[in-house]
Structure formats: structure tokens, C-alpha cells
Structure 1
Amino acid sequence: MKMKKIALLAVFLLIYLVAIPLVFRDRPYFLRVLTTASVLSVISAGVWLIFYIGRINIGQGAFALVGGYTSAILVSRLGCSFWTSLVGAILVTVLLSVLIGMPLLRLKGVYFSMITLSLTETARLAAQSFPSITNGAKGILNLPLPGALSVGGLTLIPDFSAVDKHLAFYYLGACFLIIGFAALYRIVNSRLGWLFRSLQQNEDLASSFGVDVPRLRVIALAICAAFAGAGGAFFVTMHQSVYPASFTVQDSTYFLLYCFLGGLGSVWGALVGTFVLFISFEMLQGLNQYQPLIYSLIMIGMMLWLPNGLLSLKLPWGRRRFLCAPDPQDEGEEGR
């Protein structure tokens, strides 16, 4: 089984890192679509983690917008490099999530969801209301491409303006995707992940066993915000601009749909759901007014026949738990 897992990952990386760039290197539109899907997958991964602790986050667009503006302000106003602004975007969004998470995470169910829904609109209005910092509705334009990243005189990443920027962003998006989901998989399969799962099962019972429930909630939201901050900074730099409407309530809703489509029981659900839904949405653009209808029919069909997501399908290469979050009952059965 372990060899099958390694072989499957190797095939995926070979296609993603070698085959696709070779086939589409002269077709920048397709590279841009795949790059965007990679970044949106990382942002959606944060939403999936909040699902993992038993909450529904409809405010991921707010954290992505904050991360994007933080990166843009650091680059355009303070002259920082993209790599420095990326770290700054993650730190600012994590700090913001901790500040608002401590009071908000006390709410449960629909109340928490509704409050997070208002966060994205609050972030958009804040971006419009402080033109001296954010340039208001005009946004921040003409952001420079990422420069070279060197460590000890060794250039790890070249200057994007000196190479094919579409391929450069594609590979950077691939790095974001691989690192992001590797981190998420590691978190879920660690002690911290098991504690997160206990919150999903029964917060009161977990608290009675000495689990610091409020602290774990804040940690989960901070990780979620870090994913959004990094994705927002990448998205803004790729488009070389940011506006108050760069991430809206609709985007926050899409992040939820990506997770639902892929499957909430799987670490990889956000990745699969994002690629399938976003790419299919792009393919339907040529249908003009029929696009929303077909899109809606696809979603209705998914809810009727695959309510647990695409990864609930039986896979031909073996046990489904390879793709899914670990189940304590499965572990107990193995032990017996």
C-alpha cells in the first residue's frame, strides 16, 4: 500500500511539474488558469481545516484580501520585495485572525457562520474607506513582478522579469500548492490534528478530558488565515494589482463549494474540488448566458448523487482512507 501511495504521488508530480509545463508553455492562458486554481486550492485548504474542527467559515475572502493588501502596501509603499511582503502578509493575517478569533469562536453553529460571512464585506468596505493607505476604490496598481530570491549568494528563484513570467508563476503556484497541502496533511495526521478532530466530535467531551478548546479553535483559525494570507499575496502579485473587490463574499462562498465538491472527509478535498470546479467554470465561459444554468445543474447533480464529494467515489487503486482524514474507528480496528 505504501508503494502505491508513493507511485501515485510521483505520477501526480510528474504530470503537474513536467508534463503540463511542456505541453502548455506556449499557451499562457491555460497556464494562468492552472496557476489560479493552484492558489485558490491553497486558500480553500484553510476553509477545509475549519470544517475539520466542526465550524463553517464563510469569511476566507476577508483574510485573502487583507493578505493581498498587506503585500501590495509593503511592496508599493515601503519598497519591500515580494518575498518579504509574503511573510508580512502571513503574519498580519495570522495576527488579525487571533484578535478576532478569540471572541468570535465562542459562537457556534449558524451564528459563527453569519459573523464570518460579514467579515469579507467588512474588509472590502475598510479597503475603500482608507484611501490614504489602500488608495480607495482605485486600488493599488502596477505592482512589480517578484525579484530574485538569493540565499548566501545562491539564486534559488530567478527574477520573474528576466524569464517567462507565466511559467515562473506556474511553478511558484505549484510550490505553494505542494507546501500548503503537505503542511495540511502533516497537521491532520499529527497530535494537533487529532485534537482538532475531537472538537468536531464533541467539544464538551474534549474539554472534560483537559483539552484547551478555546486555544485550539484560535490555532485552527490562525492556520486557516495563514493559508489565505499567502494565497492573497500570491494572487495580487500575479495580477500586479489589488482592489477592494479582489475578494468578495462570492469568492468566500466559492471556497466553501470547492471543499464540498471535493469532499469534507478528505485532506485533498479542497484541491480536487477547486481544480474541477474552477476549470469547468472557465470552460463554460464560452456559453455566455447558459453558463450559470449549466453550472447550477452540475452542482445540483453533485449534491444528489455525490453528497460526500468527488473523493467519496470508490477508487481503483485501493483503500479510500489514503485520501481521507484518519478515522479513530479505523485505527482501533487495525489495532485489534
Structure 2
Amino acid sequence: MDQATDNRCPATAGEAGGSLFSWQALGFTGFLLLVFVGVPVTFGRLPYFITVLTNAAVLSFISLGVWITFSIGRMNLAQGAFALVGGYVTAILATRYGISFWVCLPLSGLVSAVLGALIGWPMLRLKGVYFAMTTLSLTEAIRLLALNGGDVTKGATGIVNVPPPGTIWIFGRMVVPPFSSADPMPYYFLAAGMLALGLVAVWRLSNSRLGWVFRSLRQNEDLATSIGINVAKYRVMAFSLCCFMAGTGGAFFVAFQQNIYPSTYTVADSVNFLLYCFLGGLDYLFGPIVGAFLLVISFELLHAIQDYQALIYGALMIFCMLCLPNGILSLRLRRFDGRRNPKA
């Protein structure tokens, strides 16, 4: 293993140094303080900005799933499709059958994960551009299926008036407050909580034996097979986890917006999830989060250039691949770690 790889974050390089672990723990603690204390105190009286941060948090959560598929060496352009599936599962169950959002949320993730396993078993045999193009086609196919879903998906008119998450009472005490479109703060805390749990889960995964297996698939699938690893099983497992996060994030977004349409998640959104990972850094667990928050907040603040969003996103992706192949977070390591290879 070369020096550039060996000095990377343990999330991808597997380095188990105590100092790096301490820095990760410190960074995660700072992240929790920022999202659960800093943001509410600073922006609590600015509902519009809280809404923007809520969107950024749920997009970060979904992008973490894309980061998992990168760990097995696959470029996934179907994340938007499974977010759409999860969103429609929640919308249909909540509006037609009156099922609580708190039941729909994990159920949407499970449906997306099962669908991802069924589709992924044959599809994950493909690699490189072939897999990327297949997943891109899948995103468009799911959108067209929702558009022509008849009474089930309501076609182009979509499903509206999706009820918000209900209050949760435990032993006569309210542990989850009522949700209302007039107050985005409860939604923000829910999105931030999902992001924090997702971050911990993916971090634990990446530092476990399963994470090592995933990385071995990215490096050399033939070698992994030769030492007894069931490559097909672990590929499907990684893809299913990715789809679960997409479906769960899509379910939250539907409850937040209280509607869903076939255009809620498109090919462009799947590309954006990739861009968040590229911009933040594929080698770093916080990469998707940094990329998502940076781009979402930037475009909300710069309304004048929103018409050119697709063009700018494309230019940013090209720039990242040419000039920052390891993302923005790699600049931090180049600055503070003098041992790093300057070509890394």
C-alpha cells in the first residue's frame, strides 16, 4: 500500500491509529454540538434558513448511501430512484391506509432495500461505466413508472396532503413534539438526528470486518474471491444498505414537503448525490456531508445563478475530478500533515 493510501482516514484506508481515532471522535463531537446546539441557537428565529439546513441534512443522509457503494468500487446513479420509491411508499401508506409516519419511515427503507437487493443481484456484476449507465437508466425507469402508475401513484399530479409526523407519547409524556409546516424546527431536529445516526452507523460499518470486506471488493474482486469471500453476497449487501438510506431519506422528504411527484427525484438528483461525494472527498466519511451542505447552502444564498445550477454542477464535477480528485477535505490533510505525499 502506498503512502497516500496509508495516510487516509480509517473510514477508507482502515488505519487504526489512536490519534486518528481521537481526531475522528473530536470531529464527530463537534459535529453534534454544531447541528444540535449551534444551529438552533443561531438560526432558530430564521425558519427559511432552518428549512435549507433541513434539506441539506437529508440530502447528506442519502449521499452517505452513495458513499457506501463507492466503497465496493461502484458508481451508483440510482440513488434518486430508491429515494423516490421510499417516498411513494410513505405517501401511499399514510394517505390511503392512515399508517403513522413512524412506521412508514423504516418500512420505506426496507422496501427500497429489498428492491435494491433484487435488482442489484444481476446488475452488480457490471463494473465501471456499464454499471453507472445501468443505474442511470434505472432512475429514469422508476420515474416513468411513477408517472404512469395510474391511481396508485396519481401520475403527474402526484400525491398531496401527506400527513406530517405525529406526536409520540411514552408513559404519558410527550417525547416527540407535533410537526407543523409553520415550524420547520422539529423537522430539522429529525433530519439532524437521522444524519447523526447514519453517520455513526456508516462509521461503525467502515471500521468493522464488513467494511474491510467492502474495501477488498473495490481493490480486487478476483483476489477477494480467491480467499473465500462471497463477492456477490457482499456486493448486494452494500447496495441494499445504500438503498435503505435512500428510501428512508425519501420518506422523510415526503413528510417534510407533504407531497410527492414523479419529478421529486430525477436523474439530476442522482448525479447531485455523486457530486456531493466528489466535492467533499470520496476517501472521507464526512465528504458527502461537507459537499451537500456546501452546495445546498451556496445555491440557496445565490438565487441569481439558480437557473444555471446544472451547468455549474457539471463544471464543479469536472473541476473536482481534475484538480481535487480527493475532494475538499484532502486540502486539510495536505496542510496539516507534512508526511503526506503531495501527489495524493
Q: So what's the TM-score if we normalise by structure 1?
A: 0.89
The answer on 1:22 being equivalent to 2:41 is yes
Partners of 2:120 and 2:307 in 1: CA distance: 40
Contact 1:284 1:291 in 2 (8 A): no
Q: What are the within-5 Å matches in structure 2 for residues 204-219 of structure 1?
A: 204-219=222-237
The answer on 1:180 being equivalent to 2:185 is no
Write out per-residue CA displacement over residues 7-64 of structure 1, whole angstroms, 9 at most, x where no aligned residue. Answer: 4333332222112112211211110111100000011111111111001111110000
Q: What are the within-5 Å matches in structure 2 for residues 113-262 of structure 1?
A: 113-161=132-180, 165-262=183-280
Cα gap change, 1:245 to 1:18, in 2 (>3 Å): same
Contact 2:47 2:183 in 1 (8 A): no
- Alpha-carbon offset, residue 103 of structure 1: 1.1
User: Which residue of structure 2 lines up, in the alignment, with residue 269 of structure 1?
Assistant: 287
- Alpha-carbon offset, residue 158 of structure 1: 1.6
- Alpha-carbon offset, residue 215 of structure 1: 0.2
1:43 match: secondary structure: helix
More deviation in 300-309 or 100-109?
300-309
Equivalent residue letter for 2:190: L
User: Which of residues 95, 99, 105 is equivalent to 2:124?
Assistant: 105
- Alpha-carbon offset, residue 202 of structure 1: 0.3
1:150 match: secondary structure: strand
Cα gap change, 1:265 to 1:3, in 2 (>3 Å): closer
Cα gap change, 1:287 to 1:126, in 2 (>3 Å): closer
User: Which of residues 294, 302, 308 is equivalent to 1:284?
Assistant: 302
1:280 match: secondary structure: helix
Paired positions, count:
320
Cα gap change, 1:301 to 1:126, in 2 (>3 Å): closer
1:57 match: secondary structure: coil
How high is the sequence identity, in percent, across the aligned residues? 52
Partners of 1:319 and 1:80 in 2: CA distance: 52
Partners of 1:251 and 1:212 in 2: CA distance: 32
Contact 1:90 1:226 in 2 (8 A): yes
User: Which of residues 103, 110, 122 is equivalent to 1:91?
Assistant: 110
Partners of 1:42 and 1:298 in 2: CA distance: 21
- Alpha-carbon offset, residue 280 of structure 1: 1.4
Equivalent residue letter for 2:237: I
Cα gap change, 1:291 to 1:317, in 2 (>3 Å): closer
- Alpha-carbon offset, residue 71 of structure 1: 0.5
User: Which residue of structure 1 lines up, in the alignment, with residue 65 of structure 2?
Assistant: 46
Partners of 2:48 and 2:131 in 1: CA distance: 38
Q: Which runs of 5+ in 1 are unaligned?
A: 322-336
Equivalent residue letter for 1:96: L
Partners of 1:320 and 1:188 in 2: CA distance: 26
